Chain A
Amino acid sequence: AQTVTQSQPEMSVQEAETVTLSCTYDTSENNYYLFWYKQPPSRQMILVIRQEAYKQQNATENRFSVNFQKAAKSFSLKISDSQLGDTAMYFCAFMKPSSNTGKLIFGQGTTLQVKP
């Protein structure tokens, strides 16, 4: 069974600085998707970034980028130029496309506080 681990329950960063959130996963699959989701306080959870395992190039979405290390089964999220609106809980997630169910396996989450 697949597992996703986020070892940092809480992190903080100063506004405008860069922060990296860690995620590791365990799977025997070769093809899979990885995601980072953001859950702001009292707001709906939304997708931040998505990575397909067969793509070697790291995904980037504006200030958000990932460091995908397939051999190490590591998938970290880097937030550049942190903004107060980045304060949220961040979840790393794994999906096996071959299951055709769309099920995501989530990590425990990392609460990020951006300080002014």
Chain B
Amino acid sequence: SQTIHQWPATLVQPVGSPLSLECTVEGTSNPNLYWYRQAAGRGLQLLFYSVGIGQISSEVPQNLSASRPQDRQFILSSKKLLLSDSGFYLCAWSRIFTGELFFGEGSRLTVL
């Protein structure tokens, strides 16, 4: 069976510090991978998606970047965090032809 894990679950970082959130998928190959951010009252905003190793598409210009160094690994990064980067970040993978997304547990980031 397929599983998805992301970490850390909770993170408190000062403004200007770097960020690295990791996500790994097991039990499937060549998944489509996604990073979403969930803000109160604003639903889920798609930040990045990847259809293969090294292929990253950005949906929203911002302070964040994403990388996919391995087939089932997806990393969300920032060199210098802003207060506005605070939020709940969700990693997901999909069965592309059904559209079903499988989400990780989420990472709550607080930037102070």
Give chain A's interface residues, CB within 8 Å of chain B.
Answer: 4, 6, 9, 33, 35, 37, 44-47, 50, 91, 95, 97, 100-109
Contact = CB atoms under 8 A, between A and B. Distances in A.
Interface residues of B, number: 26
Given A101-B49, A101-B51, A106 B44 contact: yes
Interface stretch (B18-26, B66-74, B76-84, B96-104): B96-104
Contact of B57 (A35, A91, A101, A105): A101
13 contacts: A44-B106, A45-B103, A91-B44, A101-B49, A103-B49, A104-B101, A105-B46, A106-B36, A106-B43, A106-B45, A108-B42, A108-B43, A109-B44
A9 B99 CA distance: 25
A76 B38 CA distance: 22
Contacts of B99: 33, 35, 50, 95, 97, 102, 104
Interface centre among B44, B96, B99, B105 (most CB of A within 10 A): B99
A105 B46 CA distance: 8
Interface of B: 32, 34, 36, 41-46, 49, 51, 57, 59, 90, 94-101, 103-106
